[in-house]
Amino acid sequence: MEVNIKALHFEASAALEGFINKKSEKLLRRYPAITLFDYILKVVKPETSMNKEATIKVVVPQYDDFVATKVADTFEEAIDLGLDAIERQLERKLKAK
């Protein structure tokens, strides 16, 4: 499994990277076929709340890529929401097979 973290126009903290890795490993335990997690983090409209955007792409061979983009008050919250959405996508796709 590979985890790519791209922070646009800011430097991601070690704590944020650790949070992302922990959440990725948790989802990987449920879906061991995942080969790649790709995170793109950016701040939108810096002067407002709800300005942290996380786009998450999960790659599972033999299936489509699973993508979710969420905006929240913190990057951690946006990542949680995005991974929840991807987990629902995985469940639907894997049950449909």
Q: What is the CATH number of the domain that holds 90?
A: 3.30.160.100
Give the residue among 38, 34, 8 at the shortest CA–CA distance from 20. Answer: 38
To 10 degrees, the CA torsion angle through 55, 47, 45, 20?
Answer: -10
Position 37 pLDDT exceeds 90: yes
Question: How much is the average pLDDT of 84-93?
Answer: 94
Q: How many domains does the chain have?
A: 1
Looking at residue 94, what is its pLDDT? 77
Does the model's pTM come out above 0.85? yes
Structural domain range at position 58: 2-96
For the chain, give the mean pLDDT. 93
DSSP helix/strand/coil, 28: helix
pLDDT at 1 over 90: no
